[in-house]
């Protein structure tokens, strides 16, 4: 049976997941619910990004002050599930059972807005491809309020922007556009009211979770939700506006402790989020490279077989601005002939990761750079947070299965071909941007179907791996186009540091200088390896600046050796971005920033 026939034989259930209860447990609740849905409803066919959204109220006669908008922010996502269940009411019963397993209280005495887990059936497309419309005592399909909820529409748009609401006869994209127009009108009206000196307490909340742009997040770990580039400023502005209005509504001051303990806890939670959002970098986060190998191209032997030196280097990288330390125990240098055994690679990385986990602060992520499942398993057991697979799962497909089964550890998937020994011979492309995008999209879809949530994925374009210099520069020049061809909302990582294509560019410039200085004493000086690497570090800052040059298309993570210089360059770029950014709240701008592949 073909994949198409198999899909047509199943129904598709579109299910939203939400929780606002449990603090740092919110994410583990969502991911546990995903596992339960797979076990009890069907296989996950598509998964949205993760969104943090403001508390919401539905359009009804009740005044706003009867809604407890000081509740914790929600986490939301949507999945599309292939199921053999033909009756949508049975699907709903299973969802209610999963809610109960995760602590949801549906009794009349339960606090209405406290949701340990909220699972809603949004759409149900049967095996005959009918988008079912139902209005019974148990179930209404499509979900009666989804069209007015941005915290549902944005995740749906990640999965299927062209999906049409059968009753309203509008696509998900069109419904978002309408909601964003309403949002724009409300914000303009609010600004006008303030300019006319109307009291903000008369209508304390300008926008809520239904109208606000939800914050699209990458789950670095259970406690850290990083904002994804592309449209992020709209979500951050909406969240900061709401936080300030909650503080105003309850008369809470940053510098003054509230008399009511519950209000003080609410204030501390809101201020913690406010400070996090204000401190998040506009430019990419930095991943510091820590090679503990004897044969890495640029820094072999420096930190090999010396845990103390490796930890000291990691601390230096962190002081320079690194948010992630990437520990590698196998050189991907194409000139290295000897292949490292799994046992040897584990012996190199495990003690370093164990020491780092003890010595460095918990908010710094530790990544293991490996192509092998046993090494990843050992690294995770030692305290690593992230798996960085430079083979994109090609070297050891079981590594992808392991990451998907674990579910909670982010995975970097890089585009490459062949092995470090053979990759140069495979650097042949008709269109490198299209082919890299196709590879990464296919890997993303495979991993999601295996069970890895979309918010635990990072995509690496693989600069210098199975690519000539011209290919790497083409990928960099066409970064916005590349982003538009990839699944929306996935963090992009660039690993340009000290690569051969940077050295090639330096060589080309030196050749031109020699020609210009012909006839003069221009004998070329012999340089040391350290001088060559220093030159590449300096030249590589151009890539860091280029990758940071537009807030809506810039990458999310830069993997570099010289973190300090890169951080300084990014600091200047942040100021240039702030002064040049055309920040508009128009619906078109928001939609284009968050979904660059959508037209119109």
Q: Which value, to the nearest 10 degrees, does the dihedral of the CA atoms of residues 271, 272, 278, 281 take?
A: 180
Pair 58, 155: CB distance under 8 Å: no
Hey, is 217 helix, strand or coil?
strand
Quickly list DSSP for 241-283. HHHHHHHHHTT--TTS--SSHHHHHHHHHHHHHHHHHHHS-SS
- CA dihedral sign of residues 371, 548, 53, 169: negative
Among the listed residues 285, 350, 478, 559, the single catalytic one is 559
Helices (H) and strands (E) in the chain, counts: 18, 19
The active-site residue, picked from 372, 456, 499, 592, is 499
Respond yes or no: is residue 499 known to be catalytic: yes
Residues 6+ apart with CB under 8 A from 19: 26, 29, 30, 74, 75, 115, 116, 117, 118
Query: Do the beta carbons of residue 357 and residue 386 sit within 8 Å?
Result: no
* Contact (Cβ atoms closer than 8 angstroms) between residue 248 and residue 214: no
Q: Are 214 and 150 in contact (CB under 8 A)?
A: yes
Going along 304-370, which residue ranges are E strands?
322-328, 365-369
Counting Cα atoms < 13 Å in the Cβ hemisphere of 154 gives 34
Q: How do strand 285-291 and strand 322-328 relate by DSSP bridges?
A: parallel
Q: Which residues are part of the catalytic machinery?
A: 499, 559
């Amino acid at each position: 049976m073909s994949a198409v026939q198999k899909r047509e034989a199943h129904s598709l259930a579109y299910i939203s997941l939400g929780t606002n209860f449990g603090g740092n447990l919110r994410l583990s609740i969502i991911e546990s619910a995903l596992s339960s849905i797979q076990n009890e409803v069907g296989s996950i066919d598509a998964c949205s990004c993760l969104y943090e959204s403001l508390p919401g109220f539905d359009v009804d006669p009740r005044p706003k002050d009867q809604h407890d908008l000081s509740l914790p922010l929600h986490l939301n996502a949507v999945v599309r599930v292939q199921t053999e269940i033909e009756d949508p009411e049975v699907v709903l019963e299973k969802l209610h059972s999963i809610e109960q397993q995760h602590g949801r209280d549906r009794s009349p005495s339960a606090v209405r807005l406290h949701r340990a887990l909220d699972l809603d059936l949004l759409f149900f497309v049967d095996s005959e491809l009918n988008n079912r419309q139902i209005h019974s005592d148990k179930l209404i399909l499509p979900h009666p309020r989804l069209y007015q909820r941005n915290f549902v529409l944005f995740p749906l748009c990640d999965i299927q922007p062209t999906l049409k609401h059968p009753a309203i006869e509008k696509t998900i994209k069109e419904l978002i556009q309408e909601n964003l127009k309403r949002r724009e009108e409300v914000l303009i009206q609010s600004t006008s009211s303030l300019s006319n000196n109307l009291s903000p307490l008369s209508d304390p909340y300008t926008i809520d979770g239904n109208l606000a742009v939800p914050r699209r997040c990458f789950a670095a770990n259970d406690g850290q939700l990083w904002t994804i580039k592309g449209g992020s400023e709209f979500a951050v502005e909406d969240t900061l506006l709401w936080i300030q209005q909650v503080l105003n509504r309850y008369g809470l001051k940053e510098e003054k402790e509230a008399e009511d303990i519950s209000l003080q806890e609410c204030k501390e939670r809101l201020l913690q989020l406010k400070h996090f959002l204000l401190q998040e970098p506009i430019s990419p986060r930095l991943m510091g490279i820590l090679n503990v190998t004897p044969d890495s191209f640029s820094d072999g032997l420096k930190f090999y077989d010396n845990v103390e030196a490796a930890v000291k280097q990691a601390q230096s990288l962190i002081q320079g601005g690194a948010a992630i330390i990437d520990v590698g125990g196998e050189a991907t240098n194409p000139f290295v002939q000897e292949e490292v055994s799994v046992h040897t690679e584990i012996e190199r990385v495990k003690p370093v990761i164990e020491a780092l986990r003890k010595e460095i602060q918990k908010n710094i992520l530790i990544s293991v750079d490996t192509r092998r499942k046993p090494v990843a398993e050992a690294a995770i057991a030692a305290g690593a947070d992230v798996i960085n697979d430079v083979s994109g799962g090609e070297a050891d497909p079981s590594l992808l299965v392991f990451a998907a089964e674990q579910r909670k550890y982010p995975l970097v998937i890089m585009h490459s071909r062949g092995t470090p020994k053979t990759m140069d011979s495979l650097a042949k492309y008709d269109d490198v941007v299209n082919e890299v995008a196709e590879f990464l999209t296919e890997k993303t879809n495979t991993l999601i179907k295996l069970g890895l949530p979309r918010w635990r994925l990072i995509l690496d374009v693989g600069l210098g791996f199975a690519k000539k210099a011209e290919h790497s520069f083409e990928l960099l020049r066409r970064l916005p186009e590349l982003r538009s061809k990839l699944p929306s909302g996935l963090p992009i990582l660039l690993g340009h540091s000290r690569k051969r294509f940077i050295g090639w560019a330096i060589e080309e410039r030196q050749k031109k200088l020699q020609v210009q200085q012909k006839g003069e004493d221009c004998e070329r000086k012999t340089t040391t390896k350290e001088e060559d690497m220093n030159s590449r570090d300096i030249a590589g800052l151009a890539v860091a600046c280029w990758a940071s040059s537009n807030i809506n298309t810039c990458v999310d993570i830069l993997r570099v050796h010289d973190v300090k210089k890169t951080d300084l360059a990014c600091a200047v770029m942040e100021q240039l971005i702030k002064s040049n950014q055309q920040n508009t709240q128009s619906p078109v701008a928001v939609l284009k920033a968050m979904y660059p592949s959508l037209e119109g």
